[in-house]
Structure 1
Amino acid sequence: MRKSVVFNKTYALVLNYSFSLYLGGVVDFKLNYNQMFKKVLIAEDIDTINLGLIDELNKSFDFEIHHAKYCDDAILKCKKAILDNEPYDLLISDLSFMQDHRDCIINSGEELAKAILALQPEIKIIIYSIDDRPQKIKSLLKNPGVNGYICKGRESSKEMISTIKNLQENDTYLSPELVRMLNQEPVYEIQDYDISLLKELSYGHNQDIISENLKAQGIHPSSVSSIEKRINKLKIYFKAKNTVHLISQVKDFGLI
């Protein structure tokens, strides 16, 4: 079924090209190329980055671009777009948002991505962040399941254009440079269970309370002995001397 869709898109492009030549017009490959993404939302709180990114995207694409400085505003825009039957096709979001006088429910790009995917599972998401920690990137690709990740830097504008073009035909895309960085050293495949366990520890709960809470949430294994073994494995992997050190380590990695 997918091959048929790709063929139809290619065939339509050829028809459009021929028709334009017949009329003696100029073929706008930029417009034809990016029919998949028609409406894009950028969540970024720094004006210079926001405006610079919009300017670069306008040079290469013809889609409609909206932006939001706050995660809560991005969610409201997404909800309104869905109600208007004109949903966004792509979300580009930073990870960190500076807190100010305004009280917000959501203050991070990771939480925003989860909230947007809950509203609109088919949307594609690119994280655009200065955070280049392999653990964090690996975690985001798995949960909530972002489609692309770009580290802000000198070549990030080119990477953004390349990533968007590739995501129009692929579900996930990472630049070759980022793939090499992630493969430089083995990245621990942390599970959702580990995240739940680490969060419980960060709340100051002992193993008995953690066991009860995991059972209540339907998370297994939930026995005290299983929890103790898992915590010890995490301590060994993160080279943590104790539980407090473990929580400090995983927070540095951006896992909780």
Structure 2
Amino acid sequence: MFKKILIAEDIDNINIGMATILEALGISDKYHAQYCDEAYLKARNAILNNAPFDLLICDLSFKADHRSERLTSGKELIIALKKEQPNLKVIVYSIEDNPQKVKSLKDSSLIDGYVCKDRKGLQDLTHAIKKVYDGGYYLSPQIESALNRGNLFTLKEYELRILTLLANGLNQEQIAILFKKEGIQPNSKSSIEKHLKELKEEFNAQTTIHLINIVKDLSLI
């Protein structure tokens, strides 16, 4: 069983519930963080001390407060930690049950399990920890059922970046300049236009604004 676990969760009652099931699994070396930056620093220090975490259990959304955070979401935290520790096992434990979002995380190989916070959430989380430890992949039953039905759209990281920047107010020329600065390929305006044309056809969008609205409605950005 996993020996050392990091939990990134900002709700105390949920932390207490997770602590209970971890103790039942015989896992006593567990650490909690209520902020993504705090979780990142704990994981980073553990790596530097040659005592890395075996598993991260992480929510996706964290309520903003007076603190200024560099990492503001569970996905940002996971991406940052995967760069530091590629073999880190990750289970998302979240109230968000949108299959589009789960498929995007799964296809990007960022996570090893996704558990929905519901009436059977802690029970499912126990199953997830056991399955991931044994080298498997776990999805909550309702998520697995939705994914098995198919007909779900997904976006590549490159496409996701373009759409996110457009949604944030940048135009295609500005995105091309930004991609060149960041070394992202392809970075020509014509390449970006080509990808947008293909996306509009795939999502049956009439305009770029229509496309942005569709992917927002699908919780893809």
TM-score in terms of structure 2 length: 0.89
Q: CA RMSD in A?
A: 2.2
Contact 1:113/1:144 (<8 A) preserved: no
Aligned to 1:12: none
Give 2:101's aligned amino acid.
Answer: K
Answering whether residue 116 of structure 2 is matched by residue 151 of structure 1, we say: yes
Contact 2:154/2:220 (<8 A) preserved: no
Q: Which shifted more, 95-104 or 136-145?
A: 136-145
Contact 2:203/2:211 (<8 A) preserved: yes
Give 2:10's aligned amino acid.
Answer: D
Q: Aligned partners of 1:122, 1:130: CA distance in 2, in Å?
A: 25
Aligned to 1:48: 13
Aligned to 1:111: 76
Matched position secondary structure for 2:138? coil
Give the share of equivalent positions with the same residue, in percent: 45
| 1:101 counterpart (45, 66, 76) | 66
Q: Aligned partners of 1:111, 1:168: CA distance in 2, in Å?
A: 23
Alpha-carbon shift at residue 218 of structure 1 (Å): 4.2
Aligned to 1:13: none
Q: Aligned partners of 2:157, 2:5: CA distance in 1, in Å?
A: 30
Alpha-carbon shift at residue 234 of structure 1 (Å): 2.3
Aligned to 2:51: 86
Question: Considering only CA atoms, is the larger Rg found in Structure 1 or Structure 2?
Answer: 1
Alpha-carbon shift at residue 155 of structure 1 (Å): 1.1
Q: Which shifted more, 200-209 or 52-61?
A: 200-209
More relative contact order in 1 or in 2 (CA 8 Å, sep 6+)?
2
Point out where structure 2 has 5 or more consecutive residues left out of the alignment. none
Q: Aligned partners of 1:191, 1:132: CA distance in 2, in Å?
A: 20
Contact 1:110/1:144 (<8 A) preserved: no
TM-superposition CA deviations, 1:138-178 (whole Å, max 9, x none): 11123361111111111111111111111112153324443
Alpha-carbon shift at residue 102 of structure 1 (Å): 1.1
User: Number of residue pairs matched?
Assistant: 221
Matched position secondary structure for 1:128? strand
Aligned to 1:173: 138
Point out where structure 1 has 5 or more consecutive residues left out of the alignment. 1-33
Answering whether residue 200 of structure 2 is matched by residue 202 of structure 1, we say: no
Give 2:68's aligned amino acid.
Answer: D
Contact 1:200/1:210 (<8 A) preserved: yes
